[in-house]
Structure 1
Amino acid sequence: MNLRPKLRSPPLSAASFPSPPSPLSHSSKTILSKMPRKSLLRPTLAVACFLAYAAARGGESVENDALLKYPGNQHSAEWYLFSDLNRPSEERVDSSVTRVMDPEEADLFYVPFFSSLSLVVNPIRPTTVNVSHDRTVYNDEQTQEDLMEWLEEQVYWKRNNGWDHVFICQDPNALYKVIDRVKNGVLLVSDFGRLAHNQASLVKDVILPYSHRINTYKGDIGLENRKSLLFFMGNRYRKEGGKIRDLLFQVLENEQGVIIKHGAQSRESRRVATQGMHTSRFCLHPAGDTPSACRLFDAIVSLCVPVIVSDYIELPFEDVIDYRKIAIFVDSTTAVTPGNLVKLLRRVSPEKILEFQKELKKVKKYFEYEDPNGTVREIWRQVALKLPLIKLMSNRDKRIVVRDLTEPDCSCLCSNQSGVRTTL
């Protein structure tokens, strides 16, 4: 299968990326985006969106990208960011990013490759899938390689060695094949769970929230209808950091006032989870296979105070959200000691819980992808704030001499899991 584009840069205004065989297709229209340069008090940037990879599994190509609909089988952020850039400019007046059609006007280049969707569509083991001899099996790894081969030939990539390119990889395994080739760029990720310290950084990257899976709580703050102390529903057995879940089940499943259930994703599970979170005071958020999981954001939109047991978690939008005001953090050792967690939560006064709920109601707008003034707007603001640091790192990268270092040079990066963080 040959997905390699024939176009060379510039110009990008006629760029195309040939469609792979079903189940994925590409939109051939190039999208370029720009941001106005405003006051230094409100940094903005230009985003050039130059590779339109835009249709979901089983979807059909359309002539106008704006007509594409959310396919429902991919991570929300990659779809809603792409969709937002296709909105008319008059609907995006207060956005931190503005579309441009001339890449020379761009400060940053957004690469709208649907990396999570590409991963989902790809068969788990392509070499062992039984398909007819006349059908080509979609290959995520090959698509990643072709994407990078195309990008690395572009003058705008070469100009700053990729520092000014923005990639979304919300699934923990997205872009895994080429992560070392995109690590200079701004990575939009949900956490740093499977990224090395020299691949991701709070300095250059943006932490995204998962979209919530349950319905937003429509009521007001209060404890009258929240009779359960603590609620959790999810897979009991996970890999890697999520092994703590089984230990938490063991110490909590017989505690009075605690509802903790094993359950996989399904319509019925979402219904039960909605009921449980809307009627509980606290909602447990243990690590999954990686430090973050969607249940944290389910809890936030439920006004159910999150109890976070995830030692290496990074959280979205921490420059505007003080998570100590909306969540309780408990280290893993304390949490799995029998009796500790329940005693801690019972000591929280009703007045304090109401304060938590009041703050949760204030910030839940940041976790609504469907709201044009919610999550998407905040993500673009976060990306815009990276621009001065990106320019610093790009300029530094060009002047630095080759050095024989015994340890990686991370003076431009903040380690994503180190106890000591280096900042600029």
Structure 2
Amino acid sequence: MNQRPKLRSPPPSSAASSPSPPTSPNLNREKAKTIIKMPRKSYIKPTLVLASLLAIFALYTFLFYTPPDYSNNNSNLHNKFDTDYSNVNKVKIYMYDLPRRFTYGVIESYAAARGGKPVQNDVLLKYPGNQHSAEWYLFSDLNRPSENRTNSAVTRVIDPEDADLFYVPFFSSLSLVVNPIRPANANGPADRPTYNDEQMQEALMEWLEEQVYWKRNNGWDHVFICQDPNALYKIIDRVKNGVLLVSDFGRLAHNQASLVKDVILPYSHRINTYNGDIGVGNRKSLLFFMGNRYRKEGGKIRDLLFQVLEKEKDVIIKHGAQSRESRRAATQGMHTSKFCLHPAGDTPSACRLFDAIVSLCIPVIVSDYIELPFEDVINYKNIAVFVDTNTAVKPGYLVKSLRRVSTKRILELQKELKKVKRYFQYEDPNGTVKEIWRQVTSKLPLIKLMTNRDKRLVGRELAEPDCSCLCSNQSGVQAIL
């Protein structure tokens, strides 16, 4: 409790310090009587009241106040954003009932191109497991009964008039790889159907442009998934107003995508999740990498890393293509290593990063232009090590730096990895899909801003598209502010 404030005498007046004119003795005696008769002002009562109020406030603070926790860790962020959406107004999303050829038909074409037999019921169709399966998980989630989606940020509506957002469930990444990659001189079986991804994209756009809700807001309130770096490449300029669900901006221009309007998705991990506890006892290797040594563009860093790392002690670095055997070897390596190397591939990100996270193998990210999913709730500095490409390829630097990381620090990083790994598990009911929808709903205020702005702007000729305030994926945030 604060001490009682000291009472202070008023400062001497200027009249007291200056010479006074002479007065008569009788007048002075009369003044003295008058002064003596004036009641003296008491400070005791208000001081007691103030002291009582301060005492009550101090007691309340002591009993009921809990100081805020400003510690910088991911668990606090999780509590902040793990919102219970069951008792709030959810964002209403309408999923277009696309013609079958854009959804189940793509799966059917993929199977047929590999000799599969047609099935009589769409329920029997299986989406081929690959790193771009987010489009299947989102489609399946919106098809679930509403009572099974009580804690989602979005609710599916059947009447498009009720919708805040419109989801276009074209399997764009699968469509891109329907036709198997064959040598240029190989001839496929004549009885197998042909499939053309570019034609499918154009057909989707023709169908969409006939929809009244696409025209109504110039596509701003539409959501597209194009997780593969080349998905929707043919029509990307015609859908760029919408919210794009992408894995990175490696193949997208500055006026097509940005962190301001789009959502970064994690790839689906391809190796088994590590279900053990944190620790270094069974992690004998210092650093692990298994993947294609030779890549294009930013992925050229891989060959340089092979050259400086392949002879280092306690480092396992192998060249390997995608196969069932390679995945088994990668699972073993990631589950028994302290750190897992994540260099850029043909694009800045790859599924290997998310394999490492679910393995509790601390990612060492060597990719200068990478974008990461869910950075408003995950502080990646608490779960990963970042090294720029020029420094990483210096002989001896990377290994020496990792050896200096203490066991205590490794356990701290593993502990945070264990906390956040559910964000990278699509099959978890409280995992990736739930977080993607939360990210999508966060774009709604911007969508409303842009649709209202579009409606009041007077048509005018522009030398360049008027989207610099929104679309630049390098400086979009600064520009829009």
CA contact (8 A) 2:91 2:441 kept: yes
Deviation of residue 194 (structure 1)? 0.1
Say yes or no: does 1:251 pair with 2:308.
Answer: yes
From 168, 191, 196, the equivalent of 1:111 is: 168
1:279-307 Cα shifts (integer Å, max 9, x gaps): 11110000010000000000000101101
Q: Secondary structure at the match of 2:330?
A: helix
**Separation of aligned partners in 2, 1:123 and 1:400:** 47
Matched residues in 1 for 2:430 and 2:207: separation?
A: 34
Counterparts in 2 of 1:414 and 1:323: CA distance versus 1, 3 Å? farther
For 1:233, the equivalent position in structure 2 comes to: 290
Deviation (angstroms), 1:50: 2.9
Query: Could you tell me which residue of structure 1 aligns to residue 95 of structure 2?
Result: 48
1:83-124 residue CA offsets vs partner (Å, 9 max, x unmatched): 111111110011111111100001111000000111111466
Q: Does 1:302 align with 2:387?
A: no
Aligned partners of 1:101 and 1:132: how far apart in 2?
43
- Report what 2:470 is aligned to: 413
Measure how far apart 1:347 and its partner are: 1.6
Letter in 2 for 1:287: A
In 2, the alpha carbon distance for the partners of 1:66 and 1:396 equals: 43
CA distance in 2, matches of 1:361, 1:314: 21
- State the structure with more CA Rg: 2
Secondary structure of the structure 1 residue equivalent to 2:177: helix
3-state SS of paired residue (2:327): helix
**Mean Cα displacement is larger for which, 213-222 or 136-145?**
136-145
Per the TM alignment, residue 348 of structure 1 is displaced from its structure 2 partner at its CA by 1.2
Q: Residues 255-294 of structure 1: matches in 2 within 5 Å?
A: 255-294=312-351
Aligned partner letter, 2:97: F
Find 1:161's aligned residue among 218, 227, 234.
Answer: 218
The 3 A distance-change label for structure 1 pair 397 and 38 is: farther
1:150 aligns with 2:150: no
* Aligned match of 2:403: 346
- Counterpart of 1:277 in structure 2: which amino acid? M
Q: Which residue of 1 aligns with 2:372?
A: 315
Amino acid at match of 2:356: A
1:193 partner amino acid: G
Aligned match for 2:452, one of 395, 407, 413? 395
1:414/1:421 contact within 8 Å kept = no
Q: Matched residue of 1:307: which SS?
A: strand
Amino acid at match of 1:151: L
Separation (CA, whole Å) in 1 of partners of 2:475 and 2:301: 20
In structure 1, what is the equivalent of residue 272 of structure 2? 215
CA contact (8 A) 1:167 1:186 kept: yes
Distance 2:359 2:200 in 1: 38
Show the 5 A alignment for 1:44-123: 44-51=91-98, 53-55=102-104, 56=107, 57-58=110-111, 60=118, 68-72=125-129, 75-122=132-179
Distance 1:98 1:313, change over 3 A: same
Amino acid at match of 1:152: E
Q: Is the 8 A contact 1:115 1:175 kept in 2?
A: yes
Moved more, 101-110 or 115-124: 115-124
Q: Does 1:140 align with 2:197?
A: yes
Count of aligned residue pairs for this structure pair = 386
The alpha-carbon deviation at position 45 of structure 1 amounts to: 3.8
Tell me by how many angstroms 1:227 deviates: 1.4
TM-score, length of structure 2 as denominator length: 0.75
Cα deviations by residue, 1:213-261 (Å, 9 ceiling, x for unpaired):
1111111000111111111000000011101111111111111221111
| Aligned equivalent of 1:31 | none
Could you tell me how far apart the structure 1 residues matched to 2:278 and 2:427 are?
Answer: 23
Aligned residue for 1:189?
246
SS in 2 for 1:245: helix
Secondary structure of the equivalent of 2:223? strand
SS in 1 for 2:213: helix
Question: Structure 2, unaligned stretches of length 5 or more?
Answer: 1-84, 112-116
Q: Does 1:206 align with 2:263?
A: yes
Q: Structure 1 residue 68: deviation in Å? A: 4.7
1:203, distance to aligned residue in structure 2 (A):
1.1
Q: CA deviation at 1:392?
A: 1.1
2:390 alignment partner in structure 1 = 333
Change (3 A) 1:135 1:223: closer
CA distance in 2 between partners of 1:171 and 1:320 (Å): 24
Relative to 1, partners in 2 of residues 1:103 and 1:280: Cα closer, same or farther, differing over 3 Å?
A: same
Unaligned runs of 5+ in 1: 1-35
TM-score (norm 1): 0.85
Residues 249-277 of structure 1, C-alpha deviations (whole Å, 9 max, x = no match) = 11111112211110011111111111111
CA RMSD of aligned residues (A): 2.5
Asked if 2 retains the 8 angstrom alpha-carbon contact of 1:168 and 1:187, the reply is yes
Paired letter, 1:46: I
SS of residue in 1 equivalent to 2:479? coil
State the one-letter code of the partner of 2:203.
D
Q: Displacement, 1:415?
A: 2.4
**Which structure carries more helix by proportion?**
2
Please state whether the residue corresponding to 2:340 is helix, strand or coil.
strand
* One-letter amino acid of the structure 1 residue matched with residue 103 of structure 2: A
The answer on whether the counterparts of 1:45 and 1:108 sit within 8 Å (CA) in structure 2 is yes
CA 1:133/1:292 → structure 2, altered by over 3 Å: closer, same or farther? closer
